[in-house]
């Protein structure tokens, strides 16, 4: 996993898009990516003193309840989907279905550091049935 970023310094209070590229062992774009807990991937941004923790999804982060309300107001929801979104089935979050299309080997997460400091970024994707975690350090001014 490669963090695609330019050489400009990271700054607090600036919204950014964090881009990562997933490659196979030969340096080619990974073609075996699968949805992981209903998403293309997950990222966590953690400040070194643990005063900041943010769990982010590629489309941003929103609670399941907010997602349910938004979807209910925009689209008719099947009873099965409604049960999944409301958590009425055991393991609902883990069983959320995404269409099984080829996922892009590039993933991005919107985020802005709330304050300066040292951070660690954890990025998780699923490849061929296995969750892989990339770990990156960031100095924020």
- What pLDDT shows up at residue 88? 46
Question: Do 95 and 1 form a contact (C-beta atoms < 8 A)?
Answer: no
Residue 35 located in a structural domain: yes
- What pLDDT shows up at residue 59? 81
Residue 24 located in a structural domain: yes
Q: Domain range holding 23?
A: 2-60+99-140
Tens place of pLDDT per residue across the chain (141 aa): 999 999 999 999 999 999 999 999 999 999 999 999 988 999 999 999 999 999 999 987 765 555 556 656 555 545 554 554 444 444 444 444 444 567 999 999 999 999 999 999 999 999 999 999 999 999 999
Residue 74 located in a structural domain: no
Residue 120 located in a structural domain: yes
Residue 92 located in a structural domain: no
Read off the CATH number of the domain in which 41 is found: 2.60.40.10
Question: Do 124 and 22 form a contact (C-beta atoms < 8 A)?
Answer: no
Q: How many structural domains compose the chain?
A: 1
In angstroms, the CA 21 to CA 56 distance is 17
- What pLDDT shows up at residue 72? 61
| pTM for this entry | 0.73
Residue 123 located in a structural domain: yes
- What pLDDT shows up at residue 98? 44
In angstroms, the CA 141 to CA 132 distance is 29
Residue 65 located in a structural domain: no
Residue 80 located in a structural domain: no
């Amino acid at each position: 996993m490669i963090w695609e970023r330019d050489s400009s310094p990271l700054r607090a209070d600036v919204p950014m898009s964090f881009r990562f590229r997933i490659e196979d062992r030969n340096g080619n774009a990974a073609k075996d990516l699968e949805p992981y807990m209903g998403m293309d991937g997950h990222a966590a941004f953690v400040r070194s003193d643990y005063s900041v923790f943010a769990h982010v999804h590629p489309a941003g982060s929103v609670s399941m309840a907010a997602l349910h309300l938004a979807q209910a107001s925009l689209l008719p929801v099947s009873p099965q989907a409604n049960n999944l979104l409301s958590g009425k089935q055991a393991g609902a979050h883990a069983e959320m279905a995404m269409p099984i299309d080829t996922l892009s080997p590039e993933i991005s997460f919107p985020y802005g550091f709330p304050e300066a400091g040292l951070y660690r970024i954890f990025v998780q994707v699923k490849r061929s049935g296995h969750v892989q975690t990339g770990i990156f350090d960031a100095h924020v001014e």
